Structure 1
Amino acid sequence: MLRTRVLGQSERQPGQPVLKASLDLAARLPRLVLEARRVSASVHGIHGRRRSGPGETFWQYRPLVTGESASRIDWRRSARDGHLFVREREWEASHAIWLWIDRSPSMGFSSSLSQVSKVDRALIAGFALAETLVEGGERVGHIGLTRPMASRRIVEMLAQAILADRRNGEADLPPDEPLPRLADAIMITDGLTPAAALAKRIATLASSGARGHILLIADPIEETFPFSGQAELFDLEDGLTLRVGDAGKWGEDYRERLQAHRDAIREACRHAGWTLTLHRTDRPASEGVLRIASLIAASRGGPAG
């Protein structure tokens, strides 16, 4: 029942396509990528973990320290001014940050109170987080779609992978397998799958010790249910309809059940050591992005933003 949407004048009517994701996502992606970059540029104070250590990416030259092996000397650089220099590489730990962006049918909903669908907000937030984190020195991948990457083209690469994906567009949960032990996960979803199923998937992802953060996307109408009189509800996932005689009274019960559902998700996150952040689509995307980026920076020992 928690997947049910009320039909207002601006909401989807029966018989209309649910999301038309495969038809119009390609047309929307350029705008979403530009908006994600604008959001990422507005997020300040998030720094990554750039430091020296074993890896493949050149970081800096530094003077040779007494006692170090001569095999570490970069003779070409040292020959420039007669001093001995060591070529350091950027530290690359085995952990990475794994995104998962919910693109299931329920994410296609938008009301007159928001004017942006949940899936578009989720994609903007996910792309913005990816760019912010890569600029901070992290590697980011999408669960089930890409490997972790530190490319400056991370947004375009994620967008292309999502556009080409024909298998997971309807899934309302990430793949059912543990993440690497040192990984971080970011799930961006509306959470409108049964709480028990979501809790089980969180437990699986975290079973190896991976940390995680859930960004819960909600339309303001889903939060407030501001209706009275007769109403017809339509389930975007299953195509079912429900006629409600007294929407005001039904709304009271709905809000109680939604709170209980959210409490169950929050408890699952607490048990796994994960965080839960609620983000409404009538609020700026930068708020959710800054919150998640700050949590990750804090977990890395950096400034909280």
Structure 2
Amino acid sequence: MLSSRTDPQDRQENIFGLTGEAQSLADTLPELLVEARRIAANVTAGWHGRRRAGPGETFWQFRPFLSGEAAQQVDWRRSARDDNLYVREREWEAAQTIWVWADLSASMRFQSKQASASKRDRALLLMLALTYALNEAGERVGLAGLTRPLASRNAMQTIAETLVHENPEATLPNPDGIRRFSEVVLFSDLLDPPEKLEEWMATVASTGAKGHLVQLLDPIEETFPFTGPTQFEDPENGEQLKAGRAQTWQQEYLHRLAAHKDQISALSRKFGWSYTLHHTDRPAVEPLMLLHSRLADAPEHKMRGGL
């Protein structure tokens, strides 16, 4: 699917190759880090971590022994320290790690005059803000395929630095390392063929992990407001397509886009994942609030369909 452009100057030329794009990220990230903390503060109020007692291997806390419980649950070593009986509780490992990923491919650099940010910058902002909010809530977050799970409060900074040095342009992250009880949050325009997305989702789902898709679209990608002679350019390969009367393409374009989004929504239902559509002229806090509620409900890890 083509990203629409009417002015060649709108295209961000990566004339220095990977080094140029890495420099672009380095220039952009400081402001995004500040904004991410501000936005995260709006959603972290009342956002409590999902650590709780339950089946798992990691020690969580001691609690007083309750009348009626089996005697073998008593931790006698801890109980020997005073006159009370204690039970050792293990942490419920339903959400060991949350993996995040922002699509930084060429199509994500598009920004129309109607949008407050490019799709790339909005994806980065959302990913960094979510990382910060989750760490504040005691969760472990990792950049899928590139970092280990991070529980420290500098996880957001570490992920940002990794992006600059690694400069990943893959639309989808490497699923290696994603395991059961993990969750994956993907920020992308999701304009690649649905078959590619489905293959990746199937690989992730086969591990027992759960996913959340956040599709980012520029407002003009939803409305196709073009008239008269217009030149369109594919940002991924540079191919160009000229329309003499662009307005005659509108209905067919909108039909295809709607069908494409329906396919993504259907894939989300198939694998039991969540799907959020976000437009870059809307406040960034909106998808974060939705992710907040969906991640808060996620510990059940029940696949509602599919595999």
TM-score, normalised with respect to structure 1: 0.85
The Cα shift of 1:229 comes to: 0.6
Per mean C-alpha deviation after superposition, the further-off stretch among 87-96 and 41-50 is 87-96
Deviations for 1:165-186, whole angstroms, at most 9, x for unmatched residues? 14xx221122255831221111
Offset of residue 13 of structure 1: 7.7
Change (3 A) 1:14 1:144: closer
Change (3 A) 1:17 1:278: farther
CA apart distance, 1:45: 3.3
1:190 aligned partner: 189
Aligned runs of 1:154-173 on 2, under 5 Å?
154-166=155-167, 169-173=168-172
Task: Give the residue type in structure 2 aligned to 1:118.
Answer: K
RMSD over aligned CA atoms reads: 2.7
Find the counterpart in structure 2 of residue 229 from structure 1: 228
Give the aligned length.
Answer: 291
Query: Which string of whole-angstrom CA distances, capped at 9 and with x for unpartnered residues, describes residues 32-72 of structure 1?
Result: 01111111100133322233576667x66655667523212
Runs of 4+ in 1 over 6 A off after TM superposition: 13-19, 53-57, 87-90
Q: Name whichever of 232-241 and 131-140 sits farther off.
A: 131-140
Q: CA deviation at 1:265?
A: 1.3
The one-letter amino acid paired with 1:249 is: T
Conserved? CA contact 2:40–2:129, under 8 Å: yes
Matches within 5 A, 1:3-152: 3-8=2-7, 11-12=10-11, 20-43=20-43, 44-52=45-53, 62-63=63-64, 67=71, 68-73=74-79, 75=81, 84=84, 91=91, 93=93, 95-152=96-153
**Structure 1 counterpart of 2:255, one-letter code:** E
C-alpha distance in 1 between matches for 2:138 and 2:259: 38
Distance 1:16 1:249 in 2: 34
CA distance in 2, matches of 1:265, 1:24: 30
User: Per-residue CA shift, 1:259-287, capped at 9, x if unaligned?
Assistant: 11111111111111111100011011100
Structure 1 residues 17 and 223, CA gap change in structure 2 (3 angstroms)? farther
Change (3 A) 1:71 1:289: same
Give a deviation string over 1:170-207, Cα, whole Å, max 9, x none: 21122255831221111111101111111211111111
Q: Is the 8 A contact 1:100 1:187 kept in 2?
A: yes
Return 5+ residue gaps in structure 2 as ranges: 301-307
Q: For residues 22 and 13 of structure 2, what CA distance do their matches in structure 1 show?
A: 19
SS at match of 1:119: helix
Contact 2:22 2:165 in 1 (8 A): no
Unaligned runs of 5+ in 1: none
Contact 1:74-1:87 within 8 A present in 2 as well: no
SS for the counterpart of 1:145 is: coil
Q: Secondary structure in 2 aligned to 1:198?
A: helix
Cα distance between partner residues in 1 of 2:121 and 2:78: 49
TM (norm. structure 2) is 0.85
